[in-house]
Amino acid sequence: MDEKIIAGNFKSNFNRKETISYLNKLNHIKTNHKIFIFPAISSIVENNFNNITLGAQNCYFAQNGAFTGEITLKHLEEFEINTIIIGHSERRNLFLESDDICAKKFHFFKEQKFCIFYCIGESLEIRNSNKELEFLKKQLEVIDLNYKNLIIAYEPIWAIGTGVNAELNQIKDCISYLKTLSKAPIIYGGSVNEDNAKDILKITDGILVGNASLNINKFNHIIKEGK
């Protein structure tokens, strides 16, 4: 199998000690794939691992300033972090980040030459109305689809953290459509686990793994499934 992007999003799990222990174990895993880990913000450590790229789950679009409760570019620079997730559905839904906010973040971190995982995905209501492709296109219209360090993460909202995965033909149809809009790698996220990763990796450029990434044995299995 060709080189794939395999990313783990720890969300608000693992403290710093647990994160370091996990990363030290993962760093010994040999693979030809590109491995990314997004720890909880307070658990970010120096990005000095051989086989892993660390990224931020979120960051405000400023060098520094009066943004209570947020971190800014200055905090990421301390740890040499230059990879970020923007537009994850939990940021959009729980913290009300609009397409406009996501676009501002994108353009700021584009200027910093970050590797950007830009997340998009439809709700079950939109899926049932057969308007998912139109919706996905609209979500992408606010960013530069030719940005060389862009990775598009397709994550149908109804399949994130629910244990329900989109069917392979549904994933393939959306991935194929997105590839007509951008030459960026298109990865999939949404209840990816050790049982379905192999099939999903066959039809995508990679995967963004949530809950299953918290168990290093499961995540290692997922990485090996990509061989």
pLDDT tens across 97-132, in order?
Answer: 999 999 999 999 999 999 999 999 999 889 989 999
> Percent of the chain scored above 70 by pLDDT?
96
Pick the range with the lowest mean pLDDT from 31-35, 47-51, 53-57, 185-189: 47-51
Tokens of 171: 């994933």
Secondary structure class of 150 (helix, strand, coil): strand
What is the pLDDT at residue 48? 87
Phi and psi dihedrals of 216, rounded to 5?
-65, -30
Sheet containing strand 206-209, edge to edge, reads: 53-54, 34-38, 5-9, 206-209, 186-189, 150-154, 115-120, 83-86
Helix axes 16-26, 216-225, angle to 10 degrees: 30
Residue 227: which pLDDT band, with cuts at 50, 70 and 90?
low
Residue 61: which pLDDT band, with cuts at 50, 70 and 90?
very high
Average pLDDT on 205-210 reads 96
What is the pLDDT at residue 219? 96
Secondary structure class of 113 (helix, strand, coil): coil
Secondary structure class of 115 (helix, strand, coil): strand
Mean pLDDT of the chain: 94
User: pLDDT tens digits, residue range 140-196?
Assistant: 999 999 999 999 999 999 877 677 668 999 999 999 999 999 999 999 998 899 999
CATH-assigned architecture of domain 5-225: Alpha-Beta Barrel (3.20)
Burial of 49 (0-12, 13-18, 19+ CB in 10 A): middle
Q: Which are the catalytic amino acids? A: 88, 155
Is the pLDDT assigned to residue 1 strictly greater than 90?
no
Residue 226: which pLDDT band, with cuts at 50, 70 and 90?
low
How remote is the C-alpha of 196 from its chain's centroid?
18
